[in-house]
Chain A
Amino acid sequence: MSTETPKAEVYLGKTDYKVIGTRPIRHDGADKVTGKAIYTADFKLPGMLHGAILRSPHPHANIKSIDTSAAEAMDGVMAVITAADMPGLKDKNASLGEGSVNLLDLGSNVLAHGKVLYRGHAVAAVAAKSVHIAQEALKHIVVEYEELPAVTWVLDAMKDDAPILLDRVRTDDMGEMSESPTNISKHIRFEKGNIEDGFSQCDIVIEKEFRTETVHQGYIEPHASVASWNEDGHLKIWTATQGSFTARQQTAELLELPVSKVTVTPCEIGGGFGGKIAVYTQPVAAMLSQKSGRPVKVTMQRNEVFEGTGPTPGSYMKVKIGATNDGKLVAGEAWLAYDAGAFPGGVIGPGCMCVFSCYEFEHAKVDGYDVLVNKPKTQAYRAPGSTHVAFAVETIVDEIAEKLEMDPIDFRLQNAAKEGTVRVDGLKYPRIGLIETLEALKNSDHYQSKLEGPNKGRGLGCGFWFNIGLKSSVTATVNSDGMVSLIEGSTDIGGTRTSIAMQFAETLGIPAEDVIPKVADTDSIGYTDVTGGSRVTFSTGLAAYKCALDIQDQLRARAADLWECEPENVTIEEGVYSHNGDSMTFKELADKACKVGDPVAGSATVSPDCFTNGFAAHLADVEVDPETGKVTILRYTAVQDAGKAIHPSYVEGQMQGGAVQGIGWTLNEEYFYDDKGTMKNASFLDYRMPTCLDVPMIETIIVEVPNPDHPYGVRGVGEPPICPPPGAIANAIYHATGQRMTELPISPPKLWKAISEK
């Protein structure tokens, strides 16, 4: 029974849900199994032209000149552009919701300005009457390059004599700016306690170096945009993006348009994982449309996706951890260098915050470096920066547990972060669920089972990611048939229309099927930040909850009018409104309210400033073929604290998908560079992502320790599951072979070499 509107941000402590925790069919499902859903590449406008992008064959070169005249003169070519056509290419910082970005960096990543910084860097673009003509025209653009030495490995790029990518970059060394140009754009340090004291108390200290290679998010849909620049100066864009408002703002800044002159419509999106936040094709399509006077579609080829869009960093890490003989972790120290790709602003920040996030360390110190190299600008990839450090820390923690002859789960349980633990960056955890997650794994059938036989091993790994709050908006309209249209700004990559609609339905006491969720364009809904940071079900779900309360208050008032009583005397239970023996269902009341009086429409906006915290623990059984070094995953279990699983199937799906991405990262995936800085495997054939034949079923256990900052206790679930796999699998490989592998990927040649040199 509810008579007054509770404060939204607080966990309500409900246990008897009607909608939450059930598994309804997603609202956009029929569209997606029949081929009717419209992704950007499926979208067409009358008179639409097709674009193509010319990319640098060199990893590092000055652009001496670009001659586009021959391409422009070709039959069917309608426009050719270069960075010279981009008005907003200025050395200025613009705030972009999640952070700020230098427009010169952002713009010159979209179209190279003066220099190319990686192979695949966009240099010019063509719009033509067909994509074949556009591609042909690229061959007629003459670019004169002056080749420069390139650097792709992070430690090489940090050397004094390394080739410098950008003359304007200085090191921001904990607030102090260096004098001369450098590739090190940032040095971060976090410290707690006294690290020397800490190590002096330890009985066992293990230090190791780790290396990881560049990997790609690997979404199956290539980047795509359609732009139409109208004669009145209004720009419309249909695109594959994780954040329509963020895409709008970046495009507006680069084209020097007011944001209100740009409408971004998010089409269905074929995966993102962090890689579809920064703009690539949007400004290009827009500039081509402005120049040609026609709508233009720009889609990338798969090799362009690999060579021209955001991978996640390659890294070097040195990590040292100490414990006492009774199994207490005391001190942790990390020195982390992550490459940022060609422009400053990689993911070293979260890497530094996450490195010691799973355990209670009294003393800790982290130094992190953001380093430019001649690779594509790195972008977020599912828990950006956290997977790298989880690999390092989980390997060492496993070794300490082994040396102390302790069970790996018990050792972790004894040291697990909990409410009140202060992370190295100073954050004090509210109620979190790592202990419950580890306990659930300990009690699992998998952990209790025996693994026997030669060349087999079992390994455990943990991982962490924060969920961000940021801004979300929703609006809703009650229809006369008792259904409710729910408009949201969060693009739906994996079923969030449904997880948001379910929270809305639960609040109103109606079935999920009676909510019609729709993702709207930037003119049709309030500002909403990106679909990322595991925030949508948490934050947009919170907005939906508040919006439902708004609708409920309006309906309560309408019921009171009908019954001629005060609104506070109307009671509401599971969608039934009652007063003094009279009662109406939501449907009946909706029908009445729609016939008489004002329409019933509600809205809510939120910007929760809390960080919620998600933890995962995975268990892997592997078998190593000693002849080839090939690793087979025999059994895999993922456990995660979801706070409250709104739609358990999609929570499991996040856990399974994240785990398999992590398996790919651990065993196969990497950018192969030759010594000239050319990526040698820019195709799905050679950049080998897991197929269904490479993995077993991924068993899942959802743990629910409610998030105190959400009415239904939701924690974001998208990101934590990619963090544990490298540690879990590397530990399993150790237990199978006796080899501690400290470089990712643990590909067959590497492992075979390690085993045969034993």
Chain B
Amino acid sequence: MAKKQVVTSNINGEEVEFLCKPQQSLLEVLRDELDLTGAKEGCNNGNCGACTVMLDGHPVNSCLVLAVEAEGAEITTVESISQGGELHPLQQCFLEDAALQCGICTPGFLVAAKALLEKNPDATEHEIRFNLANNLCRCTGYDKIVKAVQDCQTRTKEAVSQ
């Protein structure tokens, strides 16, 4: 088997150096080598979004990214969404709106929805659905997930106008 390589990336704001084999995915390294198990594996081939993380400002399915490709990249995962011991408003809205049942899809949805709201704070219901269509949820029927994202939009606007 091929030799391990050293990769350096910035993960959740910290410079991290790790060893990985060329065939290992970023998801595998995050979960198994770096103990960041917040990103989940639902399919390992890019079809469920449970493994969504931010890579250089874009949401990606980390199961489709090779770990060696993360050299020099900036990665953020669900573990970094809450800051300073406080939940992010989006996390708070997911809880208040009961937007999760089993919760396995939740980290992926949170990362994808946060990315959307940062890019397009006024996303319409259709835009929210379009942008979250990469993420599968089998429990909720999506209704409460979409509403949680909309509630977060309202909450953010209220906070700005105050």
Contact = CB atoms under 8 A, between A and B. Distances in A.
A34 B87 contact: yes
A494 B102 contact: yes
Contact of B41 (A28, A222, A495): A222
Contact of A661 (B39, B130, B138): B138
Interface of B is mostly: loop
Given A30-B87, A32-B106, A691-B136, A495 B144 contact: no
B106 A33 contact: yes
Interface residues of B, number: 58
Interface stretch (A35-43, A422-430, A520-528, A607-615): A35-43
Interface string B1-18: 100000000000000000
Interface in B124-162: 128-130, 132-147
Interface in A447-479: none
A684 interface: yes
B23 A132 contact: yes
B91 A657 contact: no
Given A26-B98, A220-B105, A693 B129 contact: yes
Given A35-B38, A697-B143, A684 B101 contact: no
A685 B63 CA distance: 15
Interface string A676-691: 0000000111000111
A657 B139 contact: yes
A33 B143 contact: no
A29 B79 CA distance: 14
B142 A34 contact: no
Q: Max chain B CB contacts within 10 Å: which of A220, A272, A659, A695?
A: A220
A35 B130 CA distance: 24
Nearest to B100: A32
A30 B130 CA distance: 27
Nearest to A494: B101
B124 to A, nearest CB: 13
A656 interface: yes
Nearest to B91: A33
B101 A41 contact: no
Interface string B55-93: 000000000000000000000011101100001000100
A301 B129 contact: no
Contacts of B139: 271, 493-494, 653, 657
A698 interface: yes
Nearest to A691: B133
B19 interface: no
Given A33-B91, A692-B146, A685 B100 contact: no
A493 B140 CA distance: 12
Contact of A649 (B40, B98, B135): B98
A692 B142 contact: yes
B98 A683 contact: no
Contacts of A273: 138
A689 B138 CA distance: 8
Interface in B92-119: 94-98, 100-107, 110
Contacts of A693: 129-130, 132-133
B138 A698 contact: no
The contact size tier of chain A is 35 or more
Contacts of A697: 143, 146-147
Contacts of B46: 685
B50 A26 contact: no
B38 A495 contact: no
B81 A34 contact: yes
A646 B153 CA distance: 29
Nearest to B23: A132
Interface string A644-656: 0001011011001
A140 interface: no
Identify which of B133, B134, B141, B145 gathers the most chain A CB atoms within 10 Å of its CB: B141
A659 B141 CA distance: 7
B88 to A, nearest CB: 9
Contacts of A272: 102
Q: Which of A493, A690, A692 has the most CB of B within 10 A?
A: A692
A25 B96 contact: yes
Interface of A: 23, 25-26, 28-30, 32-39, 41-42, 132, 217-222, 268-273, 299, 301-302, 493-495, 647, 649-650, 652-653, 656-661, 683-685, 689-693, 695, 697-698
Q: Lowest 10 CB-CB distances: which A-B pairs, in order?
A: A35-B38, A270-B104, A660-B141, A656-B141, A32-B103, A684-B47, A649-B98, A494-B101, A692-B142, A42-B37
Given A35-B107, A39-B40, 13 more contacts: A30-B87, A33-B82, A35-B78, A35-B79, A41-B37, A220-B42, A649-B97, A649-B144, A656-B143, A660-B142, A684-B47, A692-B146, A693-B129
20 contacts: A25-B96, A41-B31, A41-B40, A220-B48, A220-B138, A271-B104, A301-B44, A493-B102, A494-B102, A647-B98, A653-B139, A653-B144, A657-B138, A657-B140, A660-B140, A684-B43, A691-B142, A692-B133, A693-B129, A697-B147
